[in-house]
Amino acid sequence: MSWKKAVQAGLRVLLQQDEHADPHLALLRLGAESPEIDAKDVTITLVMDVALVTGTLVSTETWEHLHLDQLRDHDWDLRRMVKEAIGHLDETAEDGRRRREVDRRFLHLRDVTYRTGRAVHVLPL
């Protein structure tokens, strides 16, 4: 995606607010997914019902790689199954396009801190 296309996509998000629950979160996701935007090391805090979630924003692709690495540390068979499933999706993608659209409902984070009341949980993803 060129820089111009990234700007146009950002404008579409802002102008079509009825399609997005929060256009600012959609812009963060767009920034993380676009190779033309340097959204590295962007740390965000999200307020969710009764919790605060803080983490560093990453693209879906980066999150998938980190997730596979985490699985390798715990269960080789599960990692192999997930990797083969993702590989199958990659093989069936046409002309090098992404195997599926990025799900707009999610932001992917690494180095996550999840706080509820006095409890604090630190998670890799």
Q: Which tens digits make up the pLDDT trace of 42-95? A: 999 999 888 999 999 998 888 888 888 887 777 778 777 877 877 776 666 655
What amino acid is encoded at 21 in this protein?
Answer: A
> What is the reported pLDDT for 17?
58
pTM above 0.85, yes or no: no
Tell me the three state secondary structure of residue 88.
Answer: helix
Query: For residue 109, which of 50, 48, 22, 45 has the smallest C-alpha distance?
Result: 45
Query: For residue 32, which of 117, 103, 121, 120 has the smallest C-alpha distance?
Result: 103
Query: For residue 61, which of 86, 28, 93 has the smallest C-alpha distance?
Result: 86
Note the helical H segments in the chain: 3-15, 23-33, 60-74, 76-92
Tokens of 2: 């060129």
